[in-house]
Amino acid sequence: MSSPKVLLGIVTYEGKDYVFDKFWKNIQSLTYDNFDVVVIDNTRTKKYYSKLKRRGVPVIHINRGANSRIAQAKSLNKIRDIMLKGDYEYFMSIESDLIPPIDIIQRLMTHNVDVVGCMYIIGMMSMKNQPPRPCLFVTEPKKDKPNSFRTANLDADVGFGLFGHGVIPIHGCGLGTTLIKRNIMEDIPFKYDLNKGKVIHSDVLFYMDMNNLKKTVYVDTDIIIPHFNSDWNLVKDA
Protein backbone atom coordinates (compact mmCIF):
# COMPACT_ATOMS: atom_id res chain seq x y z
CA MET A 1 0.00 0.00 0.00
CA SER A 2 1.47 3.34 -1.07
CA SER A 3 1.83 6.28 1.28
CA PRO A 4 -0.77 9.09 1.03
CA LYS A 5 0.23 11.65 -1.58
CA VAL A 6 1.31 15.02 -0.21
CA LEU A 7 1.71 18.43 -1.85
CA LEU A 8 4.48 20.29 -0.09
CA GLY A 9 3.74 23.97 -0.61
CA ILE A 10 6.27 26.69 0.10
CA VAL A 11 5.65 30.45 -0.01
CA THR A 12 8.69 32.70 -0.35
CA TYR A 13 9.99 36.02 -1.66
CA GLU A 14 13.36 37.70 -2.13
CA GLY A 15 13.49 38.78 1.51
CA LYS A 16 14.07 35.14 2.52
CA ASP A 17 16.99 34.51 0.19
CA TYR A 18 19.48 34.76 3.08
CA VAL A 19 18.41 31.28 4.23
CA PHE A 20 16.99 29.70 1.06
CA ASP A 21 20.02 27.57 0.14
CA LYS A 22 20.06 26.02 3.63
CA PHE A 23 16.29 25.60 3.51
CA TRP A 24 16.25 24.03 0.04
CA LYS A 25 18.99 21.56 0.93
CA ASN A 26 16.84 20.49 3.88
CA ILE A 27 13.74 20.09 1.67
CA GLN A 28 15.69 17.89 -0.73
CA SER A 29 16.65 15.66 2.22
CA LEU A 30 13.08 14.94 3.36
CA THR A 31 12.54 11.20 3.71
CA TYR A 32 8.82 10.86 2.98
CA ASP A 33 8.29 8.70 -0.12
CA ASN A 34 5.29 10.27 -1.90
CA PHE A 35 5.25 14.04 -2.22
CA ASP A 36 5.53 16.80 -4.80
CA VAL A 37 6.92 20.26 -4.16
CA VAL A 38 5.73 23.64 -5.39
CA VAL A 39 7.32 26.96 -4.44
CA ILE A 40 5.33 30.17 -4.81
CA ASP A 41 7.36 33.36 -5.17
CA ASN A 42 5.45 36.58 -4.56
CA THR A 43 8.31 39.05 -4.99
CA ARG A 44 7.21 42.23 -6.78
CA THR A 45 9.41 41.55 -9.81
CA LYS A 46 10.31 38.24 -11.51
CA LYS A 47 14.03 38.68 -10.84
CA TYR A 48 14.02 36.40 -7.79
CA TYR A 49 11.77 33.89 -9.59
CA SER A 50 14.39 33.67 -12.34
CA LYS A 51 17.12 33.16 -9.75
CA LEU A 52 15.21 30.27 -8.19
CA LYS A 53 14.54 28.73 -11.61
CA ARG A 54 18.29 28.73 -12.29
CA ARG A 55 18.75 26.79 -9.06
CA GLY A 56 16.34 24.13 -10.29
CA VAL A 57 13.57 25.08 -7.88
CA PRO A 58 9.99 24.20 -9.04
CA VAL A 59 8.76 27.76 -8.63
CA ILE A 60 5.71 29.70 -9.77
CA HIS A 61 5.61 33.50 -9.65
CA ILE A 62 2.44 35.35 -8.73
CA ASN A 63 1.62 39.04 -8.53
CA ARG A 64 2.24 40.22 -4.98
CA GLY A 65 -0.67 42.61 -4.69
CA ALA A 66 -0.81 45.66 -2.44
CA ASN A 67 0.77 44.15 0.68
CA SER A 68 2.09 41.01 2.38
CA ARG A 69 -1.37 40.00 3.61
CA ILE A 70 -2.71 39.80 0.07
CA ALA A 71 0.51 38.18 -1.13
CA GLN A 72 0.34 35.42 1.46
CA ALA A 73 -3.33 34.66 0.81
CA LYS A 74 -2.86 34.60 -2.97
CA SER A 75 0.20 32.36 -2.65
CA LEU A 76 -1.52 29.88 -0.34
CA ASN A 77 -4.62 29.80 -2.53
CA LYS A 78 -2.46 29.02 -5.55
CA ILE A 79 -1.09 26.03 -3.64
CA ARG A 80 -4.62 25.10 -2.58
CA ASP A 81 -5.81 25.18 -6.22
CA ILE A 82 -2.97 22.91 -7.30
CA MET A 83 -3.70 20.51 -4.48
CA LEU A 84 -7.43 20.29 -5.12
CA LYS A 85 -6.93 19.80 -8.86
CA GLY A 86 -4.55 16.93 -8.15
CA ASP A 87 -4.86 13.64 -6.31
CA TYR A 88 -3.22 14.88 -3.11
CA GLU A 89 -4.51 13.78 0.26
CA TYR A 90 -2.53 16.32 2.29
CA PHE A 91 -1.11 19.82 2.05
CA MET A 92 2.17 20.17 3.93
CA SER A 93 3.06 23.82 4.58
CA ILE A 94 6.70 24.59 5.33
CA GLU A 95 7.73 28.23 5.51
CA SER A 96 11.00 29.06 3.80
CA ASP A 97 12.91 30.14 6.90
CA LEU A 98 12.26 26.96 8.91
CA ILE A 99 14.48 23.87 8.97
CA PRO A 100 12.34 20.92 10.11
CA PRO A 101 13.59 17.37 10.75
CA ILE A 102 13.81 15.35 7.56
CA ASP A 103 11.03 12.99 8.70
CA ILE A 104 8.60 15.81 9.43
CA ILE A 105 5.89 14.69 6.98
CA GLN A 106 5.56 11.11 8.21
CA ARG A 107 5.95 12.22 11.80
CA LEU A 108 2.96 14.56 11.59
CA MET A 109 0.96 12.09 9.50
CA THR A 110 1.13 9.46 12.24
CA HIS A 111 -1.17 11.61 14.38
CA ASN A 112 -4.01 11.15 11.83
CA VAL A 113 -5.82 14.42 12.55
CA ASP A 114 -7.20 17.10 10.24
CA VAL A 115 -4.60 19.76 11.09
CA VAL A 116 -1.38 19.38 13.06
CA GLY A 117 1.64 21.64 13.28
CA CYS A 118 4.83 22.01 15.27
CA MET A 119 6.27 24.53 17.69
CA TYR A 120 8.67 27.17 16.39
CA ILE A 121 9.82 30.48 17.79
CA ILE A 122 8.62 33.87 16.55
CA GLY A 123 9.56 37.36 17.68
CA MET A 124 13.05 38.74 18.16
CA MET A 125 15.21 39.91 21.05
CA SER A 126 15.25 43.38 19.51
CA MET A 127 11.45 43.68 19.53
CA LYS A 128 10.26 44.71 23.00
CA ASN A 129 6.59 44.45 22.02
CA GLN A 130 7.04 41.01 20.43
CA PRO A 131 9.78 39.09 22.30
CA PRO A 132 10.67 35.48 21.39
CA ARG A 133 7.83 33.04 22.05
CA PRO A 134 6.34 29.90 20.49
CA CYS A 135 4.00 30.52 17.56
CA LEU A 136 0.87 29.31 19.35
CA PHE A 137 -2.49 31.04 19.12
CA VAL A 138 -5.28 31.11 21.70
CA THR A 139 -8.61 32.91 21.90
CA GLU A 140 -9.39 35.44 24.59
CA PRO A 141 -12.27 37.86 25.27
CA LYS A 142 -12.01 41.32 23.77
CA LYS A 143 -11.60 43.99 26.45
CA ASP A 144 -14.28 46.23 24.97
CA LYS A 145 -16.62 43.36 24.02
CA PRO A 146 -16.56 40.63 26.70
CA ASN A 147 -18.83 38.34 24.66
CA SER A 148 -16.54 38.53 21.61
CA PHE A 149 -13.21 36.81 21.20
CA ARG A 150 -9.94 37.59 19.48
CA THR A 151 -6.91 35.54 18.51
CA ALA A 152 -3.81 36.22 20.57
CA ASN A 153 -0.29 34.79 20.81
CA LEU A 154 0.18 32.58 23.85
CA ASP A 155 2.43 34.22 26.45
CA ALA A 156 6.05 33.08 26.28
CA ASP A 157 6.16 31.51 29.75
CA VAL A 158 3.03 29.46 29.11
CA GLY A 159 4.05 28.58 25.54
CA PHE A 160 7.54 27.39 26.42
CA GLY A 161 6.01 25.42 29.30
CA LEU A 162 4.10 23.29 26.80
CA PHE A 163 7.28 21.91 25.26
CA GLY A 164 7.49 18.12 25.57
CA HIS A 165 3.79 17.51 26.20
CA GLY A 166 3.17 15.46 23.07
CA VAL A 167 0.30 16.22 20.70
CA ILE A 168 -2.21 18.62 22.23
CA PRO A 169 -5.18 20.66 20.96
CA ILE A 170 -4.52 24.35 20.33
CA HIS A 171 -6.42 27.19 18.69
CA GLY A 172 -3.63 27.70 16.14
CA CYS A 173 0.07 27.16 15.53
CA GLY A 174 0.96 29.20 12.46
CA LEU A 175 1.56 27.55 9.09
CA GLY A 176 5.31 27.14 9.52
CA THR A 177 5.31 23.34 9.54
CA THR A 178 1.68 22.27 9.31
CA LEU A 179 0.05 19.20 7.77
CA ILE A 180 -3.54 19.67 6.59
CA LYS A 181 -5.91 17.02 5.25
CA ARG A 182 -7.68 17.46 1.93
CA ASN A 183 -11.17 17.75 3.44
CA ILE A 184 -10.09 20.87 5.32
CA MET A 185 -8.61 22.42 2.19
CA GLU A 186 -11.87 21.74 0.37
CA ASP A 187 -13.80 23.66 3.03
CA ILE A 188 -11.48 26.55 3.87
CA PRO A 189 -9.81 28.89 1.36
CA PHE A 190 -7.13 31.31 2.55
CA LYS A 191 -8.16 34.88 3.24
CA TYR A 192 -6.70 38.27 4.00
CA ASP A 193 -7.84 41.15 6.21
CA LEU A 194 -7.02 44.76 5.36
CA ASN A 195 -7.99 46.13 8.77
CA LYS A 196 -5.56 48.97 9.34
CA GLY A 197 -5.81 48.68 13.11
CA LYS A 198 -3.97 45.36 13.29
CA VAL A 199 -2.03 43.36 10.72
CA ILE A 200 -3.66 39.93 10.44
CA HIS A 201 -2.34 37.33 8.01
CA SER A 202 -3.85 34.22 6.47
CA ASP A 203 -2.71 31.81 9.16
CA VAL A 204 -4.69 33.63 11.87
CA LEU A 205 -7.79 33.76 9.65
CA PHE A 206 -7.41 30.07 8.75
CA TYR A 207 -7.51 29.08 12.41
CA MET A 208 -10.45 31.39 13.03
CA ASP A 209 -12.32 29.52 10.30
CA MET A 210 -11.30 26.18 11.84
CA ASN A 211 -12.66 27.36 15.17
CA ASN A 212 -15.90 28.61 13.63
CA LEU A 213 -16.39 25.21 11.97
CA LYS A 214 -15.68 23.52 15.32
CA LYS A 215 -12.68 21.74 13.86
CA THR A 216 -9.85 20.83 16.25
CA VAL A 217 -6.26 21.86 15.58
CA TYR A 218 -3.32 20.04 17.15
CA VAL A 219 0.32 20.89 17.78
CA ASP A 220 3.16 18.42 18.30
CA THR A 221 5.06 19.94 21.22
CA ASP A 222 7.85 17.36 21.26
CA ILE A 223 10.05 19.35 18.90
CA ILE A 224 10.78 23.03 18.34
CA ILE A 225 11.60 23.70 14.68
CA PRO A 226 14.69 25.91 14.11
CA HIS A 227 13.46 29.23 12.75
CA PHE A 228 15.82 31.60 10.94
CA ASN A 229 13.34 34.43 11.03
CA SER A 230 13.79 37.98 9.88
CA ASP A 231 12.43 41.09 11.55
CA TRP A 232 8.78 41.76 10.57
CA ASN A 233 9.48 45.46 11.14
CA LEU A 234 11.59 45.34 7.96
CA VAL A 235 8.61 44.24 5.84
CA LYS A 236 7.59 47.56 4.30
CA ASP A 237 4.25 46.41 2.90
CA ALA A 238 2.88 44.38 5.81
Q: What is the pLDDT of residues 160-192, one digit of tens each?
A: 999 999 999 999 999 999 999 999 999 999 999
Q: How confident is the model at residue 30 (pLDDT cuts 50, 70, 90)?
A: very high
Parent domain of 142: 6-233
pTM greater than the 0.75 cutoff: yes
Residue 106 has pLDDT above 60, yes or no: yes
pLDDT at residue 237 in the model:
64
- Percentage of the chain modeled with pLDDT above 90: 80
pLDDT at residue 124 in the model:
65
CB 190 within 8 A of CB 202: yes
Instruction: Count up the domains in the chain and report the number.
Output: 1
Average pLDDT over residues 20-46: 97
On the 0-12 / 13-18 / 19+ scale of CB atoms within 10 A, 23 is buried
3-state secondary structure of 238: coil
Average pLDDT over residues 107-119: 97
Contacts of 132 (CB under 8 A, 6+ apart): 121, 122, 123, 124, 125, 156
pLDDT at residue 83 in the model:
98
Residue 1 lies in a domain: no
Give the Cα separation of 174 and 177 in Å (integer).
8
State the pairing for strand pair 217-225/115-122: parallel
Give the CATH number, domain containing residue 120: 3.90.550.10
Residue 41 has pLDDT above 90, yes or no: yes
Residue 238 lies in a domain: no
Q: What is the pLDDT of residues 136-160, one digit of tens each?
A: 999 888 777 766 778 889 989 999 9
- Supply the DSSP symbol for 215: -
Average pLDDT over residues 82-108: 98
Residue 128 has pLDDT above 70, yes or no: no
Residue 75 lies in a domain: yes
Q: What is the pLDDT of residues 181-220, one digit of tens each?
A: 999 999 999 999 987 667 789 999 999 999 999 999 999 9
